[in-house]
Chain A
Amino acid sequence: DAGVTQSPTHLIKTRGQHVTLRCSPISGHKSVSWYQQVLGQGPQFIFQYYEKEERGRGNFPDRFSARQFPNYSSELNVNALLLGDSALYLCASRLDTYNEQFFGPGTRLTVL
């Protein structure tokens, strides 16, 4: 079975630009969560979606938004990029009856 997939793998943007990151969960998984990981730190929770509804939001500014589609794939959008948004963005999926979350390969975002 295919794991969680994310696109693109790498992205370079300049300050003030907008970015959209995409994620497809493991087949059969209905829940998707997004995390941000900066170098030397553990991942930080951004959003959680289940059955297309937002179920949780971390301590991130309104520049960050997300949505989940009927096929359970998800997008993370970040507006007005700042240098500090440079990080590895991780998507995790979960089967609805278990708490174990499985991460995709991530998208490495660099903001110049």
Chain B
Amino acid sequence: QKEVEQNSGPLSVPEGAIASLNCTYSDRVSQSFFWYRQYSGKSPELIMSIYSNGDKEDGRFTAQLNKASQYVSLLIRDSQPSDSATYLCAVISNFGNEKLTFGTGTRLTIIP
């Protein structure tokens, strides 16, 4: 079992719709969870971090965390063509251990 798993996609969503990206992780003691956006040929860009169960909203982005189910998701509302990218889920297992463990990423395409 991979440490961090994502639906690989590709995921296609019409412009203006909600894009839903999912991630599961295997290490129950994981404490910190991140979503990075990576455009083709570029480096990952941090868009959301979440540490507690529940929802965290930032503009059009909402991260959701359920530690009991070992599940974290990212919702993108009012999707725009500029949201087309690969989204990487990353996990840190313990405070003090800064190693980010990444999933393979979900490629998202927003259709105008």
Residues of A at the B interface (CB closer than 8 Å) are: 31, 33, 35, 40-45, 48, 50, 55-56, 58, 88, 90, 92, 94, 99-106
Contact B102 A42 (CB under 8 A): yes
Contact B104 A99 (CB under 8 A): no
Collect the chain A residues with CB atoms within 8 Å of residue B36's CB. 103
Q: Which of B43, B97, B105 contacts A42 (CB 8 A)?
A: B105
Q: Which of B42, B97, B103 contacts A56 (CB 8 A)?
A: B97
Q: Is B32 an interface residue (CB 8 A)?
A: yes
B48 shortest CB reach to chain A, Å: 10
Residues of B at the A interface (CB closer than 8 Å) are: 4, 32, 34, 36, 42-46, 49, 88, 90, 92, 95, 97-105
Q: List the A residue with the shortest CB-CB distance to B90.
A: A42
Q: How many A-B residue pairs have CB under 8 A?
A: 59
Contact A48 B46 (CB under 8 A): no
Whole-angstrom CA separation of A90 from B23 in the bound complex:
22
**Minimum-distance CB pairs A-B, first 7:** A42-B102, A103-B43, A106-B43, A99-B32, A45-B99, A103-B44, A105-B43
Interface centre among A44, A88, A101, A106, by most chain B C-beta atoms within 10 angstroms, is A101
A83 shortest CB reach to chain B, Å: 21
Contact B46 A88 (CB under 8 A): no
B56 shortest CB reach to chain A, Å: 13
Whole-angstrom CA separation of A42 from B103 in the bound complex:
6
Contact A56 B92 (CB under 8 A): no
A42 shortest CB reach to chain B, Å: 3
Whole-angstrom CA separation of A90 from B46 in the bound complex:
14
Using A103-B43, A103-B45 as known contacts, say yes or no to A43 and B34 having CB atoms under 8 A apart: no
Using A33-B99, A58-B99 as known contacts, say yes or no to A101 and B46 having CB atoms under 8 A apart: yes
